[in-house]
A and B are shown apart, each in its own frame.
Chain A
Amino acid sequence: MADPSAAPRGYPGRLIVFEGLDGSGKSTQARLLGKWLAAKGYRVFFTEWNSSDLVSATIRRGKKQGLLTPTTFSLLHATDFADRFERQILPPLRAGYLVVCDRYSFTAFARDEARGCSPEWVRNLYQFAPRPDRTYYFRVPVAVTFRRKRASRMKISYYEAGMDLGLADNIDDSYKLFQARLKREYDRMADANGFTIIDARGSVEDIQQQLREDLRPVLEGFPTGERLQHEG
């Protein structure tokens, strides 16, 4: 097991993280940024935190049998993240890649704390996850993400709406209340974790420009793929 607290960055790669509510536009921006970096010749590894089969199958089963509690829910997601981290994130970082993550441990902090888990306990769980070089927090009012969600006609899932918390009987109301809690948690984390706050109401192009500009210092002196594969 890696002990990341020992060394701030025990690998040559760089870690760029995108965080924010569903519908904040972070995934679109993360993909565009990845494209641009690859086009510039950097070795890029893109990864998103969608629930793996492990989590989705287990949660389905737990829900059916009424087994899940905030603790098991939190531990299941931590297990899933650890698997993704040990398999997909750490190896490319050690190989010197730019790793672009659509959602990182902060997603879990926000979600678990919104469900009432102790912040100290949750942070300890994720101690193995190193601090990113950049964390872009896509900040947006809940009303906006709700409109986008409704416009896309995507179904709001039970857990996405935090229905397990009993905030409201109606899934739309519960979604808004739960997402507002998540937003509060993100806002609270922003300072302590050095998030770069992106006003997600801007146009796609403007935001992408802003990200590319902001990333310049991180890329300073960072080798492109050619230099990683061939000496001299």
Chain B
Amino acid sequence: MPDEVLSGKLIVIEGSDGSGRTTEVERLKETLEIEGHAIVDTGLRRSTLVSERIDLAKQGHTLASTTMALLYATDYADQLENKIIPSLAAGSTVLADRYIYTLMARAVVRGASRQWAQQLYGFALRPDLTIFLDARPEILLHRAISKYGSLDYWESGMDLSISPDRFESFLEYQARLRREFAWMMQAYAFVPVDANRHPDQVHQDVLKLVLPLYAPAKRRRGAGPPPSAQTGPSTASA
């Protein structure tokens, strides 16, 4: 990645639908703004370049898994270069509602090798803090049903043909994702937060992790995810 000084902080909240992730991102943003920090939010499928394409593909279920993984990577790369890096360089905090880890987990659960997924995101920026809102699939299931009245096709992993029964498919798919996250938690030093609890409790735990980032003594940041930050394409020739 470029050598420019990125003085802002990149904070990532990961977690499945129903883990309370979006609620927590909103609360965290509110709290940090009150503390006087400039927040830029980001998430999946929000690039100017390809987000509409992804929406179209999801509706029609038309793209196979490798294609979809690459389309999402394009979406991330566009946001990274046109939004995340400029915002960090300007000293803002970038708050990501999901990040590359969700994309890697989805690809691996669909049969990609971990090595392929890791290298694919070799150009990515390593967050200052990644919090994983960890909730059991059964809890996610009840929250999804009480909120939407039904289970989403993609969140149930229906494209994997695990089971024609959406209920069973949801539980199995979420369990597989959770196993992948458990592995990544070690590899990328995520901090798990127990998301089976009430949102207020979750928020308190998140604040305990986030606020120390702004303590004057600890001003460090790393660039690029493991296993190597050297594998990305150079952006020098633009």
> A76 within 8 Å of B by Cβ?
yes
Q: Residues of B contacting A85 with CB < 8 Å?
A: 66
Smallest beta-carbon distance B76→chain A, Å: 9
Interface residues of A in 82-139 (CB under 8 A from B): 82-83, 85-87, 112, 115-118, 120-122, 124-125, 127-128
Tally of chain A residues near chain B (CB < 8 A): 39
Chain A residues contacting B120 (CB-CB under 8 Å) are 124-125
User: Which positions in A face B, CB cutoff 8 Å?
Assistant: 1-3, 5, 54, 58, 61-62, 65, 67-72, 74-76, 78-79, 82-83, 85-87, 112, 115-118, 120-122, 124-125, 127-128, 164-165
Given contacts A79-B70, A79-B74, A121-B233, list 4 more A-B pairs with CB under 8 A. A1-B65, A76-B49, A83-B64, A121-B231
In the bound assembly, the distance between CA atoms of A49 and B67 in angstroms comes to 15
Task: From the candidates B81, B111, B116, name the one contacting A69 in the complex (CB within 8 A).
Answer: B81
Please tell me if B123 contacts chain A, counting CB pairs below 8 Å: yes
The answer, yes or no, to whether B107 is at the interface (CB within 8 Å) is: yes
Q: Is the interface of A mostly helix, strand, loop or mixed?
A: helix
Among residues of A, the one whose C-beta sits closest to the C-beta of B228 is A120
Count how many chain B residues have C-beta atoms less than 8 Å from C-beta atoms of the other chain. Answer: 38
A-B contacts at CB below 8 angstroms, number: 115
Scoring A3, A79, A115 by chain B CB atoms within 10 A of each residue's CB, the highest score goes to A79
Q: A115–B235 Cα gap in the complex (Å)?
A: 9
Inter-chain contact A116/B66, CB cutoff 8 Å: no
Q: How far is the CB of A40 from chain B (nearest CB, A)?
A: 32
A75 contacts B237, C-beta separation under 8 Å: no
